[in-house]
Structure 1
Amino acid sequence: MGTEAATGCISKLSELLRIHRFVMSRICTVNGTEAHMYSYGTPGVLLRKNILSEWWNHMVSLQENTFPVEASVVSPDLSDPGISIALGPREENGMVTDVGLTSSLSKDLLSSYLHSLEQVNRRLPLAQAAVGTCFQFSRTESEDNNSPQHRLLSKGLCQTQLVHQYYSPPGSASQNYDHWLSLRLRWWRQFSSKPSQFVTSNNDVPDGKTSSSIEYMFPWGQSTIETVCNHGDHDIKQLEEQSGLNHQARASRKMVYPHVIECQTSLEDAMAAFLADAFQEKQIFSTNKTTKQNGARMVLQFHPHLAPYNVSMVNTGSKSRELRLITTHWCQELREAGLRVLDTADVSLTQEAQFKRNDELGVPYTVVLNDQTLDTGVITIRHRDTMLKEQVHIAKFKERLVRYTSPV
């Protein structure tokens, strides 16, 4: 994509996110330097929740011998490249002490390794996972406002890291590393409307380690959204040296030091990638002159599992009270079926205006009830991606929507 096209895409996407309050940004000052602070409106909160839910299901719930760890935002290690702050005074000596706000969850996971190992009778493999807030405030001279990483949800003062560590027998570490890299790439691609935009690249790392990046080709440039690294057995041996406790594990009939294969991403990187991936500008083909003048429609073409809402309800017609009662009933039925429902039918907006709003929010399906629904029991389901409309009897539309949005 050319520079002008990329700039236009960024501008339109940013404006859409601002209007619907997906993301809000403000500038704060830390140690005399400006940094971004992000907050999220309802659509952004729901999108983040859905991404996290899919990651957790993929990396924890469906994996064998995977143990969640709760990480602390405060790190006693002042060498941590996070932000150092003063907390105190401490009660025992009345002195102010500095602590660090953690910049990585990796150390918290490693510190729980021995406990998790005991849970599986010291047998490999096992894994640990953590989700937590991290603080990063370090910039190099080469970083500026024109770098690709600056474009969307980047350079934030804090981020929500998603970290998974797999402890592998040394003999199969290379094979397991390839497995996790392939597994993670497939995870990103399965929720994408443009899977080929997600690619991998190798990283240069010190001897004894192997590292790759999963990158997304944003309109403004290619950027890393996840790293997969085989740290070898160095971290485990270092833990053993520091604690004096045996950190070896059993693989087949041998006692070995496991290799640590770590997958690390963040909710902010995932959200940026899926927002850029979902953004579409679709030309409206119509013989109507007014429609032609309105130009293209902007759509967030989210995968149904990630969309903030699965379904939105629209009422049109003169019998608003009766339609409101039916809508309220079926919204509850859909929620009980596990669907995320946006029930903001607004009679002050035209039907087309409500369709436009739903497209910009990324709602895959819009259900239209009108006066004829009261007579015939027929409703209309509008599909976001194709704009096609299908008529379904009201007794069957819940089953139809559940099937459309069910896991693949």
Structure 2
Amino acid sequence: RVAWLRLEYVFTLFPKVNSTTKTLEGERTTSLLAWFSSPRTAGQWLDYWLRQRLQWWRKFAVGPSNFSSSDFQDEEGRRGFNLSYRFPWGTETIETLKNLGDTELLLMYPGDNSKLLGRDGRKNVIPHVLSVSGNLDRGALAYLFDSLQLAENPLTKKKDSQRKVLKLHPCLAPLKVALDVGKGPTTEMRQVCQGLFNELSENKISVWPGYLETVHVSLEQLYSKYDEMSVLFTVLITDATLENGVVQLRSRDTTMKEMMHISRLKDFLSKYVTAAKNV
């Protein structure tokens, strides 16, 4: 067993320069994972991380087959893999895994190798470094393309009418719930919304306060907007809520609406979000 494994994530922002034209192309957000391994088992660990990372990208995808892997060797003969996504314009790399060997460590600590030694059984060895680097901007773009769907619009009778839905996985959707109001006493309904907003936020459920917007739109436009924002559920507060505490809950993925008492809402949403995280 190797006792000197180290796991580390580093997030950096740096400008990307085109080497041909010497022009600044913009910033890129990168994730880095450094894994220290015995030279004897470095190849096995590289294969392990390939499986883990490809499984992770596919787990949250609507179309998992668009994520793929390919192997390569760099100029120094070091083995590695590229994880890629098939965009409409072609396949692009979103993550690279590589066995850097011991070269990087020897360059960082020249002359005194004793600081680098780790135990592999009874032997003292210089660890190999496995690098996993990801382009987070391109990865986020991959999930956006993967999640954007065209679905039938149940709110209209037009045969050629479709609705756009950003079906991000529940774990990735930044907003779980949108709170909005229907017809009725606006001031009182907004007070109910604000109380519900506070309750859900305290339970770490991300909420969009649609009830604060002053521009009135139809329910069809409201649902379309939240579908495109990838909001999982829309909660509609109406005058009926003021009378009996019942709200309307609409699902992004099924477009089904159900009536639910406001006292059950927090537990229902908490269980849904928790179940999604355990997938």
Query: Same fold, TM exceeding 0.5?
Result: yes
- 1:120-154 Cα shifts (integer Å, max 9, x gaps): xx94222332111122212459xxxxxxxxxxxxx
Q: Could you say what secondary structure the match of 1:214 adopts?
A: strand
Alpha-carbon separation, structure 1, partners of 2:113 and 2:225: 61
- Superposed displacement of residue 217, structure 1: 1.2
| Alignment map for 1:22-33 (pairs within 5 Å) | none
Percent identity reads 31
Answer yes or no: is 1:251 the counterpart of 2:137.
no
Q: What is residue 298 of structure 1 aligned with on the other side? A: 164
Q: Tell me which of 224, 234, 238 is aligned to 1:366.
A: 234
- Superposed displacement of residue 242, structure 1: 5.9
Q: Could you say what secondary structure the match of 1:396 adopts?
A: helix
Q: What is residue 182 of structure 2 aligned with on the other side? A: 316
CA contact (8 A) 1:200 1:214 kept: yes
Look up the equivalent residue of 1:199 and give its one-letter code. Answer: S
Q: Could you say what secondary structure the match of 2:106 adopts?
A: helix
CA contact (8 A) 2:178 2:209 kept: yes
Q: Could you say what secondary structure the match of 2:73 adopts?
A: coil
Alpha-carbon separation, structure 2, partners of 1:130 and 1:245: 26
Q: What is residue 30 of structure 1 aligned with on the other side? A: none
Alpha-carbon separation, structure 1, partners of 2:262 and 2:174: 24
Q: What is residue 28 of structure 1 aligned with on the other side? A: none
Q: What is residue 272 of structure 1 aligned with on the other side? A: 141
Answer yes or no: is 1:178 the counterpart of 2:18.
no
Q: What is residue 331 of structure 1 aligned with on the other side? A: 197
Higher RCO, 1 vs 2 (CA within 8 Å, ≥6 residues apart) = 2
Q: Normalised by the size of structure 1, how large is the TM-score?
A: 0.63
| Alignment map for 1:387-398 (pairs within 5 Å) | 387-398=255-266
Q: What is residue 220 of structure 1 aligned with on the other side? A: 89
Q: Tell me which of 335, 350, 353 is aligned to 2:221.
A: 353
Q: Tell me which of 18, 37, 42 is aligned to 1:168.
A: 37
- Superposed displacement of residue 262, structure 1: 0.5
Aligned residues: 271
CA contact (8 A) 2:58 2:67 kept: yes
- Superposed displacement of residue 208, structure 1: 4.5
Q: Could you say what secondary structure the match of 2:91 adopts?
A: strand
Look up the equivalent residue of 1:125 and give its one-letter code. Answer: L
Alpha-carbon separation, structure 1, partners of 2:235 and 2:79: 50
- Superposed displacement of residue 158, structure 1: 1.5
Q: Could you say what secondary structure the match of 2:41 adopts?
A: helix
- Superposed displacement of residue 351, structure 1: 1.7
Alpha-carbon separation, structure 2, partners of 1:208 and 1:249: 24
- Superposed displacement of residue 251, structure 1: 2.3
Q: Tell me which of 109, 113, 126 is aligned to 2:6.
A: 126
Q: What is residue 251 of structure 2 aligned with on the other side? A: 383
Q: Could you say what secondary structure the match of 1:166 adopts?
A: strand
Look up the equivalent residue of 1:134 and give its one-letter code. Answer: F
CA contact (8 A) 1:314 1:351 kept: no
Alpha-carbon separation, structure 2, partners of 1:218 and 1:203: 21
CA contact (8 A) 2:94 2:136 kept: no
Q: What is residue 403 of structure 1 aligned with on the other side? A: 271
Q: Could you say what secondary structure the match of 1:126 adopts?
A: coil
- Superposed displacement of residue 190, structure 1: 1.8
Alpha-carbon separation, structure 2, partners of 1:250 and 1:123: 7
- Superposed displacement of residue 244, structure 1: 6.8
Q: Normalised by the size of structure 2, how large is the TM-score?
A: 0.90
Q: What is residue 16 of structure 2 aligned with on the other side? A: 136
- Superposed displacement of residue 404, structure 1: 1.3
Alpha-carbon separation, structure 2, partners of 1:219 and 1:296: 20
- Superposed displacement of residue 376, structure 1: 2.2
CA contact (8 A) 1:285 1:292 kept: no
Alpha-carbon separation, structure 1, partners of 2:224 and 2:100: 48
Alpha-carbon separation, structure 1, partners of 2:198 and 2:122: 56
The gaps in structure 1 that reach 5 residues or longer are: 1-121, 142-154
- Superposed displacement of residue 181, structure 1: 0.8
- Superposed displacement of residue 215, structure 1: 0.7
Q: What is residue 234 of structure 1 aligned with on the other side? A: 103
Instruction: Return closer, same or farther for 1:226/1:404 CA change in 2, 3 Å cut-off.
Output: same
Q: What is residue 41 of structure 1 aligned with on the other side? A: none
- 1:343-380 Cα shifts (integer Å, max 9, x gaps): 02246122221111111111111111111112222112
Alpha-carbon separation, structure 2, partners of 1:398 and 1:292: 37
